[in-house]
Each structure stands twice: as C-alpha cells, then as structure tokens.
Amino acid sequence: MMRSKIAELLESTHFGTEVTVMGWVRTKRDSKGGFSFLEINDGSTIKNIQVIAEDKLANYTKEILRLTIGCSVIVKGILVESPGKGQKVEVQATDVKTIGWADPDTYPLQKKRHSFEYLRTIAHLRPRTNTFGAVARIRNAMSYGIHTFFQDRGFIYLHSPIITGSNCEGAGDMFTVTTLDLQGLKHKDGMVDFREDFFAKPASLTVSGQLEAEVYALALGNVYTFGPTFRAENSNTYRHLAEFWMVEPEMAFCDLKEAVDLAEEFVKSILTSTLTNCKDDLDFFNRFVDKDLISTVEHIIRSTFERLTYTEAIEILSQVRERFEFPVEWGKDIQSEHERYLCEVVFKRPVVVTDYPKEIKPFYMKVNKDGRTVKAMDILLPGVGEIIGGSQREDDYETLLNRIKEMNLDPGDYWWYLDLRRYGTVIHSGFGLGFERLIQFVTGLSNIRDAIPFPRTPKNLEF
C-alpha cells in the first residue's frame, strides 16, 4: 500500500488523485449534516490533515462515529481543495479503516493541554503531542546539520568508546560498569578486587570522547565525535541529564582562538539551518512556549560573540556581587547565575570566557605563560548558560606529566595519552557542545528533560 505522507499532501496541488493517509486521530467532529471531520497526524509534520467522512460510508455508524483521539487509521480518499479556512487541502474519504482503538476512558492524552511534568510520566505517549513531535523533528534536523557542518569541512566522524578505563575529569561523576555480583561482592583487604571483573580493572561509562578524539586528531587532523556521554552528578537541575549527547570536534594544528572561531561559526550554522529546515515546528514553539524565540535565535546568528577572559569576567561580576547567591572571587568557578548575568544583562549576546585559573579546570588544558591560568574557553548563551566547554590541550610532555601529578592522578593511567606528547606532538584544541542544551535554547523549553526522548536523571529510569 502506498502511504502518502501528510507533509507532502499539504503541499500538493494534485487535486482529484487518490491518496492513502496512515496515522493517528487527533480530533473528530461529527456534523449534523451526516458527515464527520477527522484530523489525522502521521508525524511527518506538526500539521494535521483534515479528512471528511460521509455517512454513506458502509462503516460510518459502526466504526467512524466511534473513533476517538489516539486511534490509528488508514484512510483512502481523494485529495481535494479545501473550502475551509486554515488549510489548503483535505481528503474526501472513500474508505476509513480503524487499525487500533484507544479507549477514551483510559487513553492518557486528551484534547486539553497537559503539563510537561505529567507528560514526562507518559514518555511512551508524549511523542504523539505537538510539542514532543516537534522536538523529535528538530532533534533530527539538528543532528543532520551537525554532521553536515563537519563533513563539509572535511572532519572525520570518530566513534569514541562508550565503555572506558580512563577517567577524563575525575571518578566521582562516573557510572561504574561491572559484571561483578554486587549481592555477594567479595572484598580483598577491604577493597573490591577488580581483577575478578570483566575487564580485570575498574571500568566506567564515558563522560567525554575527548581523550580518544585527541588520539585520532593527531593522526587525521580534524575529527569529531557525536554520541552519548554519561555523568553521575547528582544534580537535579533544569540543564543536567545523567545521559546526554555531546558533539566534540578536535583539531590538530589549531590554537584556542581558532577553536573559538570554529565554535562560534558552528553554533551560528546549526541555528541557521534549524531556522530554515524546521520552520513549522519553530513557529509552534514561538507561539506556545516563548514569543521571542525566533527573534532571539535570529539575533544570536547576527551577533558577534563577546570574548573576555575569566579575570575580566570576575571584575565585571564583582561590581554587582550582591546580586548573586554564590560568591564572586578570583579562583572560584563561574556559576550559572553569573553566566546568565553576563549574557543576558551585561552583553545581551553570547559570551566566550577564556583563560580560567588552572585549579578549577582539568589537567589536560594548556597552561598559559603566567603559570596560573589555562587556555580554556566556555561559551555561554542567554537562557541556558554554558553550552560549550573547550580548550587548547597541553602539548608539552613534561608540563602535562606535572599537571597529572599535581591533580593527584596516576600517570600510569595516562601512558598512552602522554605518548601523544612524546611522539610528534602538535598544538591542538577542541571543545564539547551539549546537544540537549542547544535544543533547549532553540525550542525555549525550560527543562532539559524535555529535549531528549527518554531522560535519565537521579531516581528516574521508568522508560
């Protein structure tokens, strides 16, 4: 059976042709004149197609009149020009077949608007709403845009491992991967004996593909990863997930400034392609979630990102330190309230903060000549705060070794990473962009749990 996608039918002018629509009933109205209007959605677009079913259809009383929200149907009919307002085409049904019923007494999605909190409890049905259908299509288009951006520039797509034996930034935030029997766990001298475990050593889910991306950048030049990463941080915030997707380009022969330039171009490019390719879905968010959404995105695309050092940022923030909950002090991390103040109040555009104190950044970032700061960069967006974190990597063997020791890490765990600096080392840089945060920004959704199909957060793993 040829299935006609609603997205295509709505643009079609082939009136009089027979079409077959397959989808789910969004609404039904029965008219006294002896016919019913069905609104059908098939996921190909946020828009529904209107179907007119007349009472002369054989199953009109027994079946069509009984259809309710959520039923799946196959409709055959003739595409006709719509006399009604709000749509150009409609389908005059010649046959309506019900495939699956959805009992209106129990079907959780009814016509009223449900809260995001409620919809999270029915993550298996929420993609059938306008909002979550739109998020899914936007997510898809943005993934495609990300690959296109890097492929157009000759970057090699790298599949970095999900299970890792190295800990990129500190073991506290990682999920352990084990086949040990946790119930009957045997200890040796009070410690878990990992020699008994699958890999004969501790293993975890990756928090970043960066270290492996560096390996490949130092052979292939420019690479990028785009995959899931895992953080066991116990933070219940509107912008943290335990499982999220990260895009991580890594470039050989590239310094911090060039990495920031690429990141700015990257963000603007993805936003631009999303505006063009997801117009109907973005219009929906602009109407129902945030009236300034599209104009904000357009503003970001046109603006030049403000660049300043961490030290300069602290100077600005310390002039208004009373406004903040967290202390503003050189050497302390910039918190999300500070990030948003810089973007939303001071500069009113994206902000790039560079050259952070080395104590608050990971060991692999290149130490500046001052010995106190590292070549780090964070890109902050209004609304969501930090969207990208990156750096120029330490390329000097001795300095890197010392940093590893300073941070109380075991150089033995990083022998292969250190080797990259012993053999053919080059200046190189990279960054990581949190995919769901960018989706949050583009859709205006206030909670990151609505930007991923099945969110994983503390105490939450139903689906």
- Cα 169 → chain centroid: 21
* Binding window for Mn ion (CB under 5 A); candidates: 13-21, 209-217, 325-333, 383-391: 383-391
| The only residue of 126, 231, 358, 361 in contact with ligand ATP, by rule CB under 6 A | 231
Closer CB to ligand ATP, 108 or 228, in the complex: 228
Q: Which of 126, 139, 240, 361 binds ligand ATP (CB under 6 A)?
A: 240
Q: Taking the complex as a whole, how short is the minimal distance between the CB of residue 138 and ligand ATP, in angstroms?
A: 17
> Which residue of 244, 305, 341, 364 would you call a contact of ligand ATP, by CB under 6 A?
244
Find all residues with CB under 8 Å of 101, minimum gap 6, and list them: 71
Q: Is 325 exposed, middle or buried (0-12, 13-18, 19+ CB in 10 A)?
A: exposed
Q: How far is the CB of 309 from ligand ATP (least distance, A)?
A: 17
Token code pair at residue 462: 């139903």
Considering only residues 388 to 427 of the shown chain, the ones binding Mn ion according to CB under 5 A are 389
77, interface contact from Mn ion, ligand ATP, none, CB < 5-8 Å by kind: none
Which entry of Mn ion, ligand ATP, none binds 437, CB below 5 to 8 A by partner kind? ligand ATP
Tell me how far apart the alpha carbons of residues 61 and 223 are, in angstroms, rounded to a whole number. 61
Binding-site size for Mn ion (CB under 5 A) equals: 1
Least distance CB 334 / ligand ATP (angstroms): 9
Cβ-based neighbour number of residue 14 at 10 Å: 10
Candidate ranges 17-25, 57-65, 236-244, 366-374; the one touching ligand ATP (CB under 6 A): 236-244
Secondary structure element (H or E) that encloses residue 228, with its range: strand 222-230
Element (H, E) at 78: strand 72-81
Question: Do residues 374 and 368 touch, judged by C-beta distance below 8 A?
Answer: yes
387 binds, among ligand ATP, Mn ion, none (CB under 5 to 8 A by kind): ligand ATP
Number of residues binding to ligand ATP, judged by CB under 6 A: 14
Using CB under 6 A, which residues numbered 421 to 440 contact ligand ATP? 432, 434, 436-437
* CA gap 358, 40 in Å, rounded: 57
Three-state secondary structure call for residue 382? coil
DSSP assignment, residue 454? S
- Binding pattern for the stretch 371-410 against ligand ATP, x by CB under 6 A and - elsewhere: ---------------xxxx---------------------
Question: CA Rg, the chain, in Å?
Answer: 27
* Sequence-ordered alpha helix ranges (H) in 171-249: 210-220
Could you give the count of Cα atoms lying within 13 Å of 217 in the half-sphere of its Cβ? Answer: 30
177 binds ligand ATP (CB under 6 A): no
Interface positions with ligand ATP (CB under 6 A):
231, 240-241, 244, 246, 386-389, 432, 434, 436-437, 448
Q: Where do contacts with Mn ion occur on this chain (CB under 5 A)? A: 389
